Structure 1
């Protein structure tokens, strides 16, 4: 359903009040996405039932619609709303759901995600999903999928969903797969106040622009987190069942910058500054860049900018970086920026070197 090719697509958020005007477009996208899908037709799902469903769902708290367009042409959408686990699962299924999900007060249901046939396999589904999760902003989300729709099932597995049980809507309705995902909201919400006070921020260097990570960066993040070369010294590629949760917690997270190369109109990497979980009073800088943009000094330029920003954003915190002892290129970069090796530790089963900042970044 998705592939590495990234089209020029913009996302737009809608609430309950302005969704009615989009119903014709949504029904057309949905019909196109399910062209030739006999299982959907046999289950009784039609563009008209979709219209009625969306109209009814706009009455729910936190209703959110995300649409994707290219050159003004709608190509995809996703929508959902916040609700209680009991409302979503129903009385019969609720006792079978994991205790954390059925007792949470932070839950949402995703009702539809559709992309036009000609626009599938371009990561638009992933981008819509990520934007919707960030807008709903709940710890748990759930959705329904046709059991025989393998491309869609594959996408949801890659995003981290797990099977929660069979679901039947009405006595004569089709049996669907109920899928469940825990997002990273708890981690995102625990971001310390000292960093939130200086966010959002945008940074510039002679060649680069650094801005907060956005929902539209999902394709870049997925490439960074699954590329074996990028992840060689970072514990390996992120497992498929954890990717969705990572993406859900990425956009807008304080201290996390997407690195953009204006001359090529391309996002090339990510630099982050987080409170160090190993010791209080420390903040750790980390970075990942696409291999195609290595060897041109972009990483040093971007990391240096974040270190200078961090020197003012987190006064009183010691700035550090941690890299594998075997990662010679990373160690050389950190030393070039004026960091000094101050100790060793073991993570991911490998020897790591802890570098500390003696100057706020060159």
Structure 2
């Protein structure tokens, strides 16, 4: 692909309506890492099921000709949420006094990368949120640091670190204002 594809963005609050498409895109996005327990499709399925049952769940998927090519999903987190509890150092009350939205996953199939699809999905996800802050976690080694730098270019700043599970790498927690 040499030009921006004709993408349709669809938003979902019911995981059942989109779970299959999420798993399908995830499997291709994370293909090089699927041999690692934390990145296995079954592990992702367990995580997405847990997140989909939490308050404020939303997924935005990008479709080209009815075929899912990218996604972002997340949910609302409150002060005391395990997301904040696992962070080092503990986040400032500035970020936890009100609910925030945690962008739990974002991914774009390889053939659609570099065309702005991730940014469009991200922005559509945040556009319908009313939380004052959005947070995400990134593996600082992903893409030799390029993914971290991309999030910085979208206005995210480093807040701390987290290791969500024993099988997970140590991740950088980032945050930005949604307004």
**Are positions 1:44 and 2:42 aligned together?**
no
CA distance in 2, matches of 1:49, 1:163: 26
The correspondence for 1:81, drawn from 68, 72, 75, is 75
* Alpha carbons of structure 1 residues 151 and 181: separation in structure 2 relative to 1, 3 Å: same
CA distance in 2, matches of 1:36, 1:59: 28
User: Which protein has the larger Cα radius of gyration, Structure 1 or Structure 2?
Assistant: 1
Equivalent in the alignment of 1:125: 118
Summarize the alignment of residues 115-154 of structure 1 with structure 2, pairs less than 5 Å apart.
Answer: 115-149=108-142, 150-154=145-149
Equivalent in the alignment of 1:322: none
CA distance in 2, matches of 1:106, 1:36: 34
CA distance in 2, matches of 1:51, 1:93: 23
State the TM-score, normalized to the length of structure 2: 0.88
SS at match of 1:136: coil
Equivalent in the alignment of 1:11: 9
SS at match of 2:42: helix
Structure 1 residues without counterparts, runs of 5 or longer: 185-362
Equivalent in the alignment of 1:191: none
CA distance in 2, matches of 1:36, 1:22: 23
Equivalent in the alignment of 1:113: 106
The correspondence for 1:34, drawn from 11, 30, 36, is 30
Conservation of the 8 A alpha-carbon contact between 2:136 and 2:175: yes
Structure 1 residues 265-310: Cα deviation after superposition (integer angstroms, max 9, x where no partner)? xxxxxxxxxxxxxxxxxxxxxxxxxxxxxxxxxxxxxxxxxxxxxx
CA distance in 1, matches of 2:27, 2:146: 17
**Are positions 1:161 and 2:159 aligned together?**
no
CA distance in 1, matches of 2:46, 2:167: 19
Instruction: Choose between structure 1 and 2 for higher RCO, CA contacts under 8 A separated by at least 6 residues.
Output: 2
Question: Considering only aligned residues, what root-mean-square deviation do their CA atoms show, in Å?
Answer: 2.1
How far did residue 77 of structure 1 move?
Answer: 0.8
CA distance in 2, matches of 1:145, 1:85: 21
Conservation of the 8 A alpha-carbon contact between 2:84 and 2:90: no
* Alpha carbons of structure 1 residues 5 and 114: separation in structure 2 relative to 1, 3 Å: same
SS at match of 2:80: helix
CA distance in 2, matches of 1:53, 1:69: 23
Conservation of the 8 A alpha-carbon contact between 2:38 and 2:167: no
User: How many matched pairs?
Assistant: 175
CA distance in 1, matches of 2:79, 2:122: 20
State the TM-score, normalized to the length of structure 1: 0.45
Structure 2 residues without counterparts, runs of 5 or longer: none
CA distance in 1, matches of 2:93, 2:22: 35
CA distance in 2, matches of 1:114, 1:172: 20
CA distance in 2, matches of 1:166, 1:132: 23
SS at match of 1:180: strand
Summarize the alignment of residues 208-287 of structure 1 with structure 2, pairs less than 5 Å apart.
Answer: none
Equivalent in the alignment of 2:18: 22
